[in-house]
Amino acid sequence: MAGRIAVPPMAEEGSRALIPLDFVRGLFNTIEKPLIVAERNGNLLLVNTRAEQFVESITPGLNLFKDLLKTDARKIFEELEKGEHRLEHHFQIGGVKSTVLVQWMPGPDWLVVEIKSKSETQTGADPATQLTVQELLQEREITYRNLLAAYLKLQEVNRQKTVFLASAAHELKTPLAVIKGYYDLLLAGSLGRLTDKQRDILEESKDSCERLVRLVSMFLNYSALESGKLVLQLRENDLRDCLDELSKRWVEAFQRKSVKLDASFDPSIPTFRFDYQKVQQAAANLLDNALKHTPSGGTVTLRAAPHFWERRVAALAPVEERRRFRLPRPNSVEVSVTDSGPGIAAEHHQEIFEDFVRVDRNTSGMGLGLAIAKRLIQAHRGKIWVESESRGSRFTFLLPMDQG
């Protein structure tokens, strides 16, 4: 059938409106009655979903008179042309005796066939087990309502989980900050001299406290993302300062595990608009993940450099033309974190960015770090991915400079 239907003039004489066939078919399927629309020669134009239940199969070239009604078209039109625009007849449709109403539309010269009912079940079918169309529709409606109720219940449970995580994280945040402050005072010697053993115990305790603080911060970020309350504070910032501050903050944690942190940032990176805290949080999650999976004596590198990001948009010019007129300067910044750990199998490269997914069950954590990093970067209209072979992994994200 054609992709559009020409509707006869209604308002202005001689005008014809072209309506897309998919749109017409969508409206036609909303009609509760089983209907078939055909041309004068019997070629089918439209068959709605209710009518398809009465027809064995809809194939191209199917004819209303020859294949469905099993009757001569001339007998139908002899009565229609006498002035009867609506006829009731009994026909065989798909091997089933059915009562149909045939109505003629003289304007477009179409036939509209309404299937009224089945007078008997199909030959050979067991009456005890044969379901009527109405029963099937009722069963489908009940199934749909049950699925909808289950979906809404899951949505409510998920909302309650998010609210609980946010409430628990807020309650833990203040006491953890106080505990961490006292650790800093003790280790600085402000409350008296410490023995070497006392200092070691306090440093280990402080490390555990900081890990708990990061976990609470992760829950807060996750709950904000889940509830849709994440708001980016876009300001002109220096990404090199952002990442340099982060690397200095993590030096001590890397030293305790005897892992080398190598940070290098291209001096040509310009200032641009981004959320300082959110980008720092995303990079911190990548460093935390790299530290977990890098053995003692290994190396983690943090790099940042300008990058030309050629976005694939269908409306753009061909590749050759785009390359000829490339931007005079990079339009994004590429930030990468590379570790010397065991690597990640290719089949896990997508799922590791999902919520609560941990590929290595032997490591600590809730499986939220990479998922939160992905959402924070995507909120900046950026992109994040992982590359990994047999040894080592490289997590990379792009931040566009035109945040607007």
Quick one: pLDDT at residue 301? 94
161, two tokens = 């989980």
Average pLDDT over residues 36-57: 78
Is the pLDDT confidence value at 93 over 60? no
Is the pLDDT confidence value at 314 over 50? no
Q: Quick one: pLDDT band at residue 5, thresholds 50, 70, 90?
A: low
SS (H, E, C) 83-138: CCCEEEEEEEECCEEEEEEEEEECCCCEEEEEEEEECCCCCCCCCCCCCCHHHHHH
Residue with the bigger pLDDT between 254 and 363: it is 254
**Are the CB atoms for 110 and 38 separated by under 8 Å?**
yes
228, two tokens = 């849709």
Residue with the bigger pLDDT between 210 and 251: it is 251
pLDDT per position as a tens digit, 102-117: 887 777 778 888 887 6
Quick one: pLDDT at residue 364? 64
Is the pLDDT confidence value at 84 over 70? no
Q: Quick one: pLDDT band at residue 120, thresholds 50, 70, 90?
A: very low
Quick one: pLDDT at residue 306? 93
> 304-343: string of b/e by CB count within 10 Å (b at 16+)?
beebebeeeeeeeeeeeeeeeeeeeebbbbbbbbbbbbeb
Quick one: pLDDT at residue 318? 55
Quick one: pLDDT at residue 17? 52
Residue with the bigger pLDDT between 158 and 206: it is 206
Q: pTM of the predicted model, to two decimals?
A: 0.53
Quote the CA–CA distance of 45 and 7 in Å, as a whole number: 13
Q: Helix 196-226 vs helix 239-256: angle between axes, to the nearest 10 degrees? A: 130
Weakest mean pLDDT among 130-134, 145-149, 214-218, 271-275 = 130-134
Type of residue numbered 11: A
Is the pLDDT confidence value at 325 over 60? no
Q: Quick one: pLDDT band at residue 315, thresholds 50, 70, 90?
A: very low
Q: Quick one: pLDDT band at residue 320, thresholds 50, 70, 90?
A: low
Q: Quick one: pLDDT band at residue 219, thresholds 50, 70, 90?
A: confident
Q: Quick one: pLDDT band at residue 172, thresholds 50, 70, 90?
A: confident
Q: Which of 378, 375, 377, 397 minimizes the C-alpha distance to 386?
A: 397
Weakest mean pLDDT among 221-235, 294-308, 390-404 = 221-235
**pLDDT over 70 percentage in the chain:** 79
Q: Quick one: pLDDT band at residue 361, thresholds 50, 70, 90?
A: low
Question: Which strand (E) or helix (H) includes residue 340?
Answer: none
Quote the CA–CA distance of 281 and 379 in Å, as a whole number: 13
Is the pLDDT confidence value at 122 over 50? no
Average pLDDT over residues 235-263: 92
* Chain mean pLDDT for the chain: 79
* Pure H helices in 235-305: 239-256, 276-293
Is the pLDDT confidence value at 2 over 80? no
Residue whose token pair is 């398809």: 52
Q: Quick one: pLDDT band at residue 398, thresholds 50, 70, 90?
A: very high
Is the pLDDT confidence value at 253 over 90? no
Is the pLDDT confidence value at 200 over 70? yes
Average pLDDT over residues 67-76: 77
Weakest mean pLDDT among 103-107, 109-113, 250-254, 392-396 = 103-107
Q: Quick one: pLDDT band at residue 396, thresholds 50, 70, 90?
A: very high
